[in-house]
Amino acid sequence: MALQRIEAVVLRTIPYSETSLIAVLFSRQIGRLSTIAKGARRPGKAAASALQPTHDISCIVYVGTGGGLKTISQIELVADRPGITRSATLFGLAGRALELALSQTPLEEASPNVYHLLNELLTTLEKASQQSGQQLLLAYELKLQGILGYGLRVNSCARCGRAAGKRSIALSPSAGGILCETCRGGVGDVLSLEREELSVLRAMLTDPIRVWLRNDIPSMVLTRLGFTARRIWELHSPLDRSSSSAAFLAEVGSALYSPESSPREAFGH
Ligand SMILES: [Zn+2]
């Protein structure tokens, strides 16, 4: 059995037995992993306050050969994120980001890019307004899809590679990006994007997350691009349709998770 120090974001915790805590982490070194902190909930232990969702921690993990829960110890807090608990919306946005890292990433597969993306999102969310927080989450979702291999092709037709049309552009999550006039025929899930929407989408895929703290985009654009991101999650993971964190965001009035219409309606289903 080998010992390894890891840095990780806490995705979820569950009390276990009288004194222990199960924690699902996303680490820089091992990716997503399920761990147990034995005795963490005994009085006087600092581990329980470090092991909270959204926190960045450092700990020692006992790396065995098999799967299952891995024991962690010497848990140290690297960053707590008090700014996120300022509002229900920010808290909900962070919750959605953690849920996606929990449900969409493979178990125990190193992906430093996901770890950095998640940390960047949580750090910037602390400084965000309700509006910019939603923009940050959308950029996170689109970039996460890119890392996981579901990234949208937005510079030329996803089917034939030709340049996109001049005025309105057809975007299809099932085709994996934008479609030219010829290729859009017969494709079921098409959303017509304005030029402005396409340039926001391109910038979200390429620019660092933090630029969305300042660059405000119209809430209609946010909602429509949000449909695109949700449609992609649904295509790759049908269970995402019943996401509890998405339902919470709709309840607190998020434009990104508008309860008015669903992604399926937007794409003509
Ligand atoms: Zn084409």
3-state secondary structure of 83: helix
For the packed helices 195-206 and 130-147, what is the interaxial angle rounded to 10 degrees?
70
Answer whether 2-80 and 83-266 agree in fold. Answer: no
Distance 219 CA to ligand 1 centre (A): 30
pLDDT value for 104: 95
Distance 175 CA to ligand 1 centre (A): 10
Edge-to-edge strand list for the sheet holding 191-193: 177-179, 169-172, 191-193
pLDDT value for 182: 87
Q: Where are the alpha helices (DSSP H) in the chain?
A: 47-50, 88-104, 112-125, 130-147, 181-184, 195-206, 219-236, 244-251, 263-266
Distance 182 CA to ligand 1 centre (A): 6
pLDDT, tens digit (0-9, with 9 covering 90-100), for 162-216: 887 676 789 999 999 999 888 988 888 899 888 899 999 999 999 999 999 999 9
H-helix or E-strand spanning residue 58: strand 56-63
Distance 195 CA to ligand 1 centre (A): 18
Residues across the chain = 269
Amino acid at 87: S
3-state secondary structure of 85: helix
Distance 156 CA to ligand 1 centre (A): 8
Q: CA 125, 35, 93: angle at the middle one, nearest 5? A: 20
Distance 181 CA to ligand 1 centre (A): 7
Distance 232 CA to ligand 1 centre (A): 20
Written as one string, the DSSP assignment of 64-81 is -SS-S-EEEEEEEEEE--
* Cβ–Cβ < 8 Å for 37, 20: yes
**pLDDT values of the chain reduced to their tens digit, one per residue, 269 residues:** 689 999 999 999 999 999 999 999 999 999 999 999 999 999 888 888 999 999 999 999 998 766 789 999 999 999 999 999 999 999 999 999 999 999 999 999 999 999 999 999 999 999 999 999 999 999 999 999 999 999 999 999 999 998 876 767 899 999 999 998 889 888 888 998 888 999 999 999 999 999 999 999 998 999 999 999 999 999 999 888 889 999 999 998 888 887 665 666 666 54
Give the distance, in angstroms, between the CA of residue 50 and the centroid of all CA atoms in the same chain: 22
Distance 54 CA to ligand 1 centre (A): 42
* Cβ–Cβ < 8 Å for 231, 263: yes
Distance 143 CA to ligand 1 centre (A): 24
Distance 221 CA to ligand 1 centre (A): 24
Superfamily of domain 83-266: Recombination protein O, C-terminal domain (1.20.1440.120)
Radius of gyration of the chain (CA): 20
H-helix or E-strand spanning residue 52: none
d(CA 240, CA 219): 23
Distance 158 CA to ligand 1 centre (A): 7
pLDDT value for 44: 83
Distance 177 CA to ligand 1 centre (A): 10
**Is the domain 2-80 a CATH 2.40.50.140 member?**
yes
Provide the residue ranges of all domains of the chain, joining segments of one domain with +: 2-80, 83-266
Distance 264 CA to ligand 1 centre (A): 23
